[in-house]
Amino acid sequence: MSQGVGTVSAMDGTPADRLLEGLDDSQRRAVVEPARPLAILAPAGSGKTRVLTRRIAWQSATEAIDPAHVLALTFTRKAAGELRNRLRRLGVREQLTAGTFHAVALAQLRAWHEHHGTQMAEVLDRKARLLGPLVKGPGGPARTLAINEVAGEIEWAQARLCGPNAYVALAGRVGRDPSLPLEQIADVYRRYQAEKRRRGLIDFDDLVRLTAQSLEDDHEFAATQRWRFRHLFVDEFQDVSRAQLRLLQAWLGTRDDLCVVGDPDQAIYSFAGADSRYLTAFADHFPGFPVLPGVLMLEAMVQAGRRLLADRAGNQRLVLGAVRGVKYGTFVRPGHVMRVEVSLRKPADGGAFELEGEARVLTPGRDQPGEPPVAVAGRFTLRPARTSP
């Protein structure tokens, strides 16, 4: 599809061991890590997409997953095409679905309407086509800028699952500062939504919301899609929005077969409603992972890693996961392994749960939970504060 959905097939017989060749220790660890769900955080230039594609190919080759039931998500058509090309070079040929959130949502929404025998609304190609008559002001370049700014604000609000009535409060709370008054933008947003309904149109951002809603409300449809897509992978997860997170959770259901990769420092779509906290607080949003904000784990690990490895340049790669009930994070650099093991404790006073843990430096190769540490970096107790929408 032109929107960025495509397939590549099952393995062509490439040996699994060959898929680990050329990877450094931290990349290899991330590829073979058995934890589910799994968040892999890594800095720029560390090969995040390489790790993601190798993980898909390696798990396919070892029959840990069925590539015919994989859904790999990206944020641009170009990235989706590159992901498919990489997987082909790794021996995965077809039947694996890779695409953008919007493209997959469009395909599924069409399938939902076809199943129910209903007519899907026409997708509006540009918001400006409807916004032009709704935005008051003089003509010329200034008007064009005003229309584009209002379109951007509406896209931001839709990405945050924020309707016209809630826009002023939310935009003000987070410090949005468009040139037009927030109240005026909210009024245009309200009339824009009404005009879409009058004309029987939906816009690109509605695709994500409506598909999530269909999966949440139609259990038969949800079961079909979850049967089809059993293994979920997301590249550049720091750029996910609240609306996309809702859709991802609807695809996942109660399952835990999810792997995401990203770097909070590379978040580039916050202006459009993306929120890197969905990566750093990964544990808040997906069942099976420890029910505590991952950002606190991350902060503790960063502090311990810097203290132990004396590297403030951020070159360590971090893997979050869970094995046999032990929740942990791991820093890996050549010759060094640092693991943080954590557990939950409910305070006697009945207050919010606390996170107890220990940061350890481990001998390379002796990196399983419970292995004796070379040195204890420090113990900590943290009381989480959950993220807000």
> Residue 60, class by beta-carbon neighbours within 10 Å (0-12 exposed, 13-18 middle, 19+ buried)?
buried
Q: Pairing relation of β-strands 122-123 and 201-202?
A: parallel
- Tokens matching residue 130: 């409807």
Nearest to 240 by CA among 192, 284, 278, 292: 278
Torsion sign over Cα 57, 63, 69, 75: negative
- Tokens matching residue 127: 């918001």
Residue 117: per-residue pLDDT:
95
Digit-coded pLDDT (tens) for 322-340: 333 334 444 444 444 445 5
Q: Pairing relation of β-strands 317-323 and 326-333?
A: antiparallel
> Residue 58, class by beta-carbon neighbours within 10 Å (0-12 exposed, 13-18 middle, 19+ buried)?
buried
Burial 239-270 (b: 16+ CB within 10 A, else e): bbbbbbbbbbbbbbeebbbbbbbbbbeebebe
Q: How far apart are CA 102 and CA 104, in angstroms?
A: 6
Torsion sign over Cα 164, 168, 174, 179: positive
Residue 5: per-residue pLDDT:
57
Peptide bond before 372: cis, by omega within 30 degrees of 0? no
Which structural domains are found in the chain, ordered by start?
Answer: 125-202 (1.10.10)
Which ranges of 160-241 would DSSP assign to H, the alpha helix? 164-174, 182-199, 204-217, 219-228
Digit-coded pLDDT (tens) for 161-215: 999 999 999 999 999 999 999 999 999 999 999 999 999 999 999 999 999 999 9
Residues with Cβ within 8 Å of residue 340, at least 6 apart in sequence:
297, 300, 301, 304, 328, 329, 330, 357, 358, 359, 360
Residue 14: per-residue pLDDT:
64
Residue 347: per-residue pLDDT:
52
Nearest 5 degrees, angle CA 307-CA 310-CA 313?
115
Backbone phi and psi for residue 26, each to the nearest 5 degrees, phi listed first: -70, -40
Residue 306: per-residue pLDDT:
43
Q: What share of the chain is helix, strand, coil (3-state, %, to 5)?
A: 45, 20, 35
Whether the pTM exceeds 0.85: the reply is no
**H or E segment and range at residue 375:** strand 375-382
Backbone phi and psi for residue 274, each to the nearest 5 degrees, phi listed first: -70, 155
Nearest to 358 by CA among 379, 374, 377, 327: 379
Residue 346: per-residue pLDDT:
47
- Tokens matching residue 59: 């798990």
What is the Cα gyration radius of the chain?
Answer: 23
Torsion sign over Cα 295, 297, 298, 304: positive
Residue 262: per-residue pLDDT:
85
Give pLDDT < 70 ranges for the chain.
1-14, 43-44, 94, 287-389
DSSP secondary structure code for residue 22 in this structure: T
Nearest to 211 by CA among 347, 292, 303, 105: 105
- Tokens matching residue 56: 């898909």
Residue 350: per-residue pLDDT:
52
Q: How far apart are CA 156 and CA 162, in angstroms?
A: 8
- Tokens matching residue 204: 């690109």
